[in-house]
Structure formats: C-alpha cells, structure tokens
Amino acid sequence: MKEMNPVAPHRPLTEYYADEAGRHRWLRRVFDTTAVDYDRVESLMAFGSGPWYRRQALQRAGLTHGMQVLDVGTGTGLTAIEAARLSGSGGNVTGVEPSIGMLAHAHLPDGMRVIEGYAEALPVADQSCDFVSMGYALRHVPDLRAVFGEFYRVLRPGGRACVLEITRPAGAYAARCLRIYMRHLVPILARIVGRSRDMPQLMRYYWDSIEACVPPQQVIEELRAAGFTQVTRHVVLGIFSEYVAIKGEA
C-alpha cells in the first residue's frame, strides 16, 4: 500500500514551538500544567453552555443508548460525560488521552475506562466501537490522515465518527470579533480566575490554531479519503463545526 504524506491541521505556530518535536513537547507540557484550571475557564468562556451543546451535538451525530463509545482526546472528560449520559452508562465509554495532568483533574463518569495514548495511534482493537467522538482536539494532532484512518479502523461497520471543532467564521467582521474575544479577552479572564500561569498562553494558542486551521472542506475530504461515507458538517452560530462520518456496512 502506498504511504500517504501526512496532513497537519495547521501550519507550524512558531510563537510556541520551533518544530514538530517541539510541538509535541509543548502541547504535552501546557495541557499538563493548565489542567487544574481547564474546566473553570472553559465554562466561563462558553457562558456555561458547554455541557448542553456537547450533548445536543452528540445526539445530532447519532449517539444513542447502548453504543460503545471511544472518546479521543478525553481531557478532563467534558465530552465523555455527555457521551455516557446518551449511551446509558460510563461503562460504555472508553477514553484516550495523552496528558496525565488532564486525567489527574478529570471528572469522569463512573465505570469509564481511560487509556493513555494518541489519536494517531489509538491503543484499541479493530472494529471495537460503535461511535468515536473528539471534542475540540483536532487542531492538536500531527496528522489528519493518520487520525481519521485510526477512527475508521476502530469503528465497526455502520459506526459513526463525530468531530467537534471551533472554526474561523467566514465573514471578516465576525472573525475579527471572535479573534478579539478569544485571543485577548479570554486570556485576561484566564489570568484572573486561573491558578496556572500557562493558561493565558494556552487560550491565545487556541485562537491561533483556529485561525491557521485547514478549511472545513479539507477536513471533509480527509474523512472521505479515510473511507468514510455520508460525511457531513453541521454548523452552529457560524463557528461550531460538527463533522459526522459513517463507516459503510461490510
């Protein structure tokens, strides 16, 4: 089989790291050190709407009772909690997360299993789950093709992948307003309410990675290239993208 060239979600952001190895180390460190503040800042940034929105997005993606869910980039468990509610039990959810700091501060559903690992090399068996979720972590992976290939591998025929991400608004005015909010106001908020001195930097990085991210059409094309069918994108408020992809029946 011909090896495909990797597709990064965005260009290197050299304000934060110098190269790919540096990117990996920087992300691991900053997520470890900011985990103590992550849920608090996320709730304030989203005005408390995060749990409701995640639950609605997973429902729209087809997550139903009894499904076996793999939550990739679990972090502190914000998406996994809603997945457990919809699937009926924390025992139906397995998380994969590289940051030990995030897991140390996670609030996970009872019965949920978590494995330390990376999205581009998922430590789970082929065709072992019905639903793969990823909440706002796509911008942090090294290779979209490798990640989507792994999603396809671990899903059973008919299984669904749901990728939640923040996307730069199409209009210049909306993009400028969101940039001011996320790159300037949110870091100030993080400095006021947070305990980690790295939290404002992480929030600035969030916007920079959003602004530099590949366009939604390329995400859709990479999902299709991985073998998924019926790939769709649902957009809420012009910035919240819900990519849903279905693995064809055998």
**Can you give the pLDDT at residue 20?**
87
The mean pLDDT of 147-173, rounded to a whole number, is: 97
pLDDT for 1:
38
Question: Do 123 and 97 touch, CB atoms closer than 8 A?
Answer: no
> Structure tokens of 156?
């059973």
What value does the mean pLDDT of the chain take? Answer: 95
With a cut of 50, say whether residue 142 has pLDDT above it.
Answer: yes
Residue 2 has pLDDT above 60, yes or no: no
Question: Residue 16: pLDDT above 60?
Answer: yes
Instruction: Please tell me the CATH code under which domain 46-167+214-246 is placed.
Output: 3.40.50.150
Kindly state the average pLDDT of the residues 18-40.
Answer: 94
Of 117-126, 154-163, 186-195, 219-228, the one with minimum mean pLDDT is 186-195
Angle at which helices 199-212 and 186-193 pack, to 10 degrees? 160
pLDDT tens digits, residue range 61-88?
999 999 999 999 999 999 999 999 999 9
User: String of b and e for 50-60 (b: at least 16 CB within 10 Å)?
Assistant: beebbbebbee
Amino acid identity of residue 123, one-letter, is: P
The confidence band for 249, taking pLDDT boundaries of 50, 70 and 90, is: confident
Which pLDDT score, from 0 to 100, does residue 135 have?
97
69-72 and 240-246 beta bridge pairing: unpaired
100 SS3 class: helix
More confident residue, 48 or 86: 86
Half-sphere exposure of 181 (CA within 13 A, CB side): 12
For CATH 3.40.50.150, the residue range(s) in the chain are 46-167+214-246
CA dihedral 217, 221, 223, 227 (to 10 degrees): 160
Q: What is the mean pLDDT of residues 88-92?
A: 98
Summarised one tens digit per residue, pLDDT across range 173-225 is 999 999 999 999 999 999 999 899 999 999 999 999 999 999 999 999 999 99
- In this prediction, residues 109-135 reach a mean pLDDT of 97
Evaluate whether 75 touches 150 at the Cβ level (below 8 Å). Answer: no
pLDDT at 250: 66
- Among 174, 171, 194, residue whose Cα is nearest residue 182: 174
Distance CA 154, CA 169 (A): 32
